[in-house]
Amino acid sequence: MEIEVDVFVDASELTCPLPLLKAKQALNKLESGQVVHLVCTDSGSVKDFNVFCTQSGHHLLDAKSNDISYEYWLKKA
């Protein structure tokens, strides 16, 4: 599944809570339905982004990880 991305955010090397803060800042600049693709290296981001989307109403379209990074696709509610 290919996701059309409106904004890319590289939050690599940033630790909690900065990846989430960067995502929030990007989402605030978008219109409803637009998508942020965020890449980070903070393992704590997995829980952070799941909780954030549940509480904020934004949609976590996809999440992927490998040995060194985590990627998230967030759709603004």
For this structure, is 16 an active site residue? yes
Q: Is residue 2 part of a domain?
A: no
User: By residue range, what is the domain housing residue 12?
Assistant: 7-75
Binning pLDDT at 50, 70 and 90, where does residue 2 land? Answer: confident
Q: What is the mean pLDDT of residues 16-45?
A: 96
pLDDT for 40: 97
Q: Is residue 16 part of a domain?
A: yes
Q: Is residue 1 part of a domain?
A: no
Question: Which of 7, 14, 16, 60 is the catalytic position?
Answer: 16
Structural domain tally of the chain?
1
For helices 18-28 and 45-56, the axis angle rounded to 10 degrees is: 40
Question: 26: domain CATH number?
Answer: 3.30.110.40
Q: Is residue 14 part of a domain?
A: yes
